[in-house]
Amino acid sequence: MKKRYEPGEIELKWQAIWAKKEENIFSSRVSNTKPKFYCLEMFPYPSGKIHMGHVRNYAIGDVIARYKRMRGYNVLHPMGWDSFGLPAENAAIKEGVHPAHWTHENISYMKKQLVRLGLSYDWSRELATCLPEYYRWNQWFFIKMFEKGIAYRKASFVNWCPSCSTVLANEQVTEGRCWRCESMVVQKELVQWFLRITDYQQELLDASDGLAGWPQKVVLMQKNWIGRSEGLEAIFRVDGSDDRIIVFTTRADTLFGAKFICLAPAHPLAEKFAEPDALAKIREHYGKADEKHGLFTGRYAINPANDEKIPIYVANFVLMEYGTGAIMSVPAHDQRDFEFAQKYGLPVKVVIRPDGGGEGGGEDVPAGKAFEEDGVLADSGQFTGLASAEARQKISGFIEGKGMGRRVVNYRLRDWGISRQRYWGTPIPIVYCERCGAVPVPEKDLPVVLPEDVKFTGKGASPLAESESFVDTVCPSCGGKARRETDTMDTFVDSSWYYVRYCSRKDEPALDKGNIGYFMPVDQYVGGVEHAVLHLLYSRFFMRVIRDLGLSNVSEPFQRLLTQGMVCMETIKCPEHGWLYPSEAEGGACAKCGRPVERGRTEKMSKSKRNVVDPDHLIKTYGADTARLFSLFAAPPENDLQWSEKGVEGAQRFIQRVWAFVHDNLEKLAAVKGQPPEGKSPLMRKTHQTIMRVTRDIEREYHFNTAIAAMMELLNMLAALEPSGQDDLRQMRFALERLLLMISPFCPHVAEELWEAIGMISSIQLEPWPGYDEEAAREEEIELVIQVNGKVRTKVMVPQGLPDEELKNRAMTLPRIQEAVSGKQIINVFAVKGRLVNIVVK
């Protein structure tokens, strides 16, 4: 054994050994003897190289997988590539490389990086979503959904990203910007394919309360996204016509205050009533968060509550996609309506007064803004004086009784638009025939493969539309001339079911019911919180479709979810040259101009801010074990992690100290024979305590940072020991073996190496997780804390397990306490859990 710890050498050695043993170490088969555990990390987009976010994500997952293997589970721990998407196509436009080529190069490089990190994946299940054998099943799912009416086509206003020149789903727009490139999104009317996720909205909502293993934050985000609200649909007759306008409101209690009606610009009656040119102008402002624009139609509607005649407007801020596309406007109690009323000089009628706010004494017109809270009804006929909550029910009932409306539930969630006007995605398997319309490609003709003869110009319509060999086809139904759909699928379709594909090996058929039945659901899913509504909601939807296709009994794909925090690093800025790399700011001065630099905030690592750490460089300098250890030690997984070079060195120091301990004691330790003696010693006690703590910290919320801290404490004790005699050495060896076992999921290479060094023959991977004995972990003496009036006055060592009365007596006799209580009246004495005594005096 070398004196120096050389990570590069030993890590490559063990990675080679593991690769040979892959069949029996990291691979998983359907097994009846062991319970299964499916551990999954979000698969990466093959962008070129892995980044520190991946390192952290996969280190967390790997510790869980390795730990569970040691606990005797049949662990499924797969990895693959989310390999369709825009960057590949953009590279093609910029550099002329084919997206497939670019993607496969990246995959092969990144796979090497993952292997180099010592991650224990079952590569026999590796998948790449851009391969026809994978996306064939996207097409298969699409056809099944088409047959069931879940996939359908409609024209609507959609989110269009001008920079990506494609459509985005609602979930993919953040603050009006594209989730990927941050360009402002515009509204465009297009015919698109949608998946009817709204069919499952109530089920998804109801089931979210059962997601006990998920961060509540994520559950809440999903619930808000689905956005259920209960209200009333009320019918407003159009004066002098048979037309009726249906509005949705959650505030039936304000119905008597409705002073006008607003229609969405795309509402059928808006087109019927409004003058086309004027309507077109309103439409220009649709979906934009700017000023409110209205157009009076010249028509009036009848308020079903009081038969009042109120004007009908078309307004840019009314959404066609939510509710009924028409609203009743109550300017006194809705801020938007208030602003609209102000602009167009419409009346404001107060029908809700603040609870307890003087009978009839309040002002009629709110001062400058609407009163939107609940209160007491005013000026509302027979309902005047009721509280809002009660009035909502009563007025809804009243309207229902008149046959002028009904209580309904509305959701904010929209159907998922999956059409993308790009090349590098799954072709939508539809053929358009003049006679038969949209016809699905028959299953036997799948996959519809992406054509190769495509030019990547970055301009115009879908690149697929340029490929005649692709577009021209025959109708599967009538054999006549037909054209293929040229849009591809949103890449979130690919990732909505990949965890199901992993249940079968590459060489086994996809979607095998037996395999799915054995491995699903995922027991632990680990990934970034940025997918809280996107990928995670789509997957919950897809799993239900898969269930309803009879392929699985599972509804929820992910039993437990861990959302890890971001990896952050300090930023450095020069007042003149902007963001700098640390190497450009040595000595606190900008390397370009010599001006002093500003230490910026610690922010998420990003290339643009130049605050990134390259995993390759990190591994080369410190090794994979150190990279993993630091990622896990510096913060609990759900927190953001602040990268620190010094912290990395600290992590490596720990590994080096373990190494040095084994090296320095190797001869003595190797000669040890037999078990440690019965009876307690500080080291034996500490060892059992450490196993207890580490086990508990991993089991409970995966708090690896405190688990590692506990192992460090054990090492500190071991290193301070000066053994004399065989019994001491036996204990030392016992403690060391357990320490190595506990370290092995975190730093698998060095654990293997040291395990071998102390004479163990089989791989440490195959060892069970060490057990502990609570009795052996128990302290014989405890430090009794004595407080007077809640303040610590002294501490004393006493035997473990004394009765409370005895503790109180002992406390009272202590000189320090005598002194503190002398001349005072003792009111009460508390003893707490055999650990603390509090004396209350006056």
Partner RNA sequence: GCCGGAGUGGCGGAAUUGGCAGACGCAAGGGACUUAAAAUCCCUCGGGGGAAACCCCGCACGGGUUCGAAUCCCGUCUCCGGCACCA
Q: Closest approach of Cβ 320 to RNA, in Å?
A: 7
Q: Is 124 in the site for RNA (CB under 7 A)?
A: no
Candidates 318, 464, 465, 694; binder of RNA (CB under 7 A) is 318
Residue 829, H or E segment? strand 826-832
Pick the closer one to RNA by CB: 487 or 625. 625
Neighbours of 323 (CB within 10 A): 22
**Helices 534-548 & 216-226, crossing angle to 10 degrees?**
70
Q: Is 205 helix (H, G, I), strand (E, B) or coil?
A: helix
Alpha-carbon gap, residue 182 to 161, rounded angstroms: 9
Q: Closest approach of Cβ 327 to RNA, in Å?
A: 5
The residue range among 70-78, 482-490, 654-662, 732-740 that interacts with RNA, by the rule CB under 7 A, is 654-662
Pick the closer one to RNA by CB: 92 or 568. 568
Q: Closest approach of Cβ 225 to RNA, in Å?
A: 6
Q: Is 636 in the site for RNA (CB under 7 A)?
A: yes
Neighbours of 402 (CB within 10 A): 12
The residue range among 289-297, 446-454, 507-515, 545-553 that interacts with RNA, by the rule CB under 7 A, is 289-297
Q: Closest approach of Cβ 626 to RNA, in Å?
A: 12
Pick the closer one to RNA by CB: 247 or 475. 247
DSSP string of 496-538, one letter each residue: TSHHHHTTS-TTS-TT-HHHHHHHPSEEEEEEEGGGTTHHHHH
Which residues inside 371-430 make contact with RNA, applying CB under 7 A? 410, 412
Pick the closer one to RNA by CB: 215 or 517. 215
Q: Closest approach of Cβ 169 to RNA, in Å?
A: 11
Q: Closest approach of Cβ 628 to RNA, in Å?
A: 15
Contacts of 549 (CB under 8 A, 6+ apart): 144
Q: Please report, for residues 11, 118, 623, the alpha-carbon distance to residue 17 in angstroms, rounded to integers and kept in the order given.
A: 10, 11, 17
Pick the closer one to RNA by CB: 177 or 506. 177
Q: Closest approach of Cβ 550 to RNA, in Å?
A: 33
Q: Is 739 in the site for RNA (CB under 7 A)?
A: no
Q: Please report, for residues 135, 163, 423, 427, 452, the alpha-carbon distance to residue 98 in angstroms, rounded to integers and kept in the order given.
A: 18, 20, 11, 17, 9
Candidates 25, 190, 207, 221; binder of RNA (CB under 7 A) is 221
Alpha-carbon gap, residue 263 to 294, rounded angstroms: 9
Q: Is 653 in the site for RNA (CB under 7 A)?
A: yes
Q: Closest approach of Cβ 146 to RNA, in Å?
A: 26
Q: Is 640 in the site for RNA (CB under 7 A)?
A: yes
Q: Closest approach of Cβ 355 to RNA, in Å?
A: 17
Q: Please report, for residues 14, 27, 596, the alpha-carbon distance to residue 22 in angstroms, rounded to integers and kept in the order given.
A: 12, 6, 53
Q: Closest approach of Cβ 460 to RNA, in Å?
A: 30
Candidates 50, 533, 572, 811; binder of RNA (CB under 7 A) is 533
Residue entry with tokens 């006008």: 260
CB 533 within 8 Å of CB 561:
no
Pick the closer one to RNA by CB: 545 or 568. 568
Distance of CA 719 to the CA centre of its chain: 41
Alpha-helix runs per DSSP H in 7-51: 7-25
The residue range among 287-295, 388-396, 466-474, 582-590 that interacts with RNA, by the rule CB under 7 A, is 287-295
Pick the closer one to RNA by CB: 115 or 319. 319
Q: Closest approach of Cβ 63 to RNA, in Å?
A: 16
**Strands annotated E in 136-185:** 151-161, 166-168, 173-174, 177-178
Candidates 5, 160, 225, 541; binder of RNA (CB under 7 A) is 225
Q: Closest approach of Cβ 274 to RNA, in Å?
A: 17
Alpha-carbon gap, residue 432 to 439, rounded angstroms: 6
Alpha-carbon gap, residue 188 to 171, rounded angstroms: 17
Alpha-carbon gap, residue 464 to 430, rounded angstroms: 13
Q: Closest approach of Cβ 358 to RNA, in Å?
A: 24
Q: Closest approach of Cβ 792 to RNA, in Å?
A: 5
ω into 521 cis (within 30 of 0): yes
The residue range among 151-159, 312-320, 504-512, 666-674 that interacts with RNA, by the rule CB under 7 A, is 312-320
Q: Closest approach of Cβ 639 to RNA, in Å?
A: 4
Q: Is 529 in the site for RNA (CB under 7 A)?
A: yes
Which residues inside 544-563 make contact with RNA, applying CB under 7 A? none
Contacts of 14 (CB under 8 A, 6+ apart): 118, 748, 749, 752, 753
763 to 802: interface string for RNA, x by CB under 7 A:
--------------------x-x-x-xxxxx-x-------
Q: Closest approach of Cβ 537 to RNA, in Å?
A: 11
Which residues inside 811-840 make contact with RNA, applying CB under 7 A? 816, 820, 828, 830, 832-833, 835-836, 838, 840
CA-CA-CA-CA dihedral for 313, 318, 321, 324, to nearest 10: -50
Q: Is 570 in the site for RNA (CB under 7 A)?
A: no
Q: Is 322 in the site for RNA (CB under 7 A)?
A: yes
Alpha-helix runs per DSSP H in 117-234: 132-147, 201-208, 216-226
Q: Is 50 in the site for RNA (CB under 7 A)?
A: no
Q: Is 212 in the site for RNA (CB under 7 A)?
A: no
Which residues inside 240-279 make contact with RNA, applying CB under 7 A? 248-251, 264
Q: Is 649 in the site for RNA (CB under 7 A)?
A: yes
Neighbours of 70 (CB within 10 A): 20
Q: Is 599 in the site for RNA (CB under 7 A)?
A: no
Closest to 110 in 3D by CA, of 189, 167, 50: 50
| Sign of the Cα pseudo-torsion (86, 90, 95, 97, in order) | positive
Candidates 220, 278, 365, 478; binder of RNA (CB under 7 A) is 220
Q: For residue 78, what are its two tokens?
A: 């797969």
The residue range among 81-89, 290-298, 518-526, 670-678 that interacts with RNA, by the rule CB under 7 A, is 290-298
Number of residues that bind RNA (CB under 7 A): 91
Which residues inside 324-353 make contact with RNA, applying CB under 7 A? 325, 327-328, 334, 336
Q: Please report, for residues 19, 73, 390, 740, 742, the alpha-carbon distance to residue 752 in angstroms, rounded to integers and kept in the order given.
A: 14, 20, 69, 8, 12
Q: Is 804 in the site for RNA (CB under 7 A)?
A: no
172 to 191: interface string for RNA, x by CB under 7 A:
-xxx----------------
Q: Closest approach of Cβ 452 to RNA, in Å?
A: 37
At residue 636's C-alpha, the angle toward residues 635 and 640, to 5°, is 60
Q: Is 202 in the site for RNA (CB under 7 A)?
A: no
DSSP string of 654-666, one letter each residue: HHHHHHHHHHHHH
Neighbours of 650 (CB within 10 A): 16
Coarse DSSP helix, strand, coil percentages of the chain, rounded to the nearest 5 percent: 40, 20, 40
Q: How many residues does the chain have?
A: 842
Which residues inside 706-735 make contact with RNA, applying CB under 7 A? 706, 708-709, 712-713, 716, 719-720
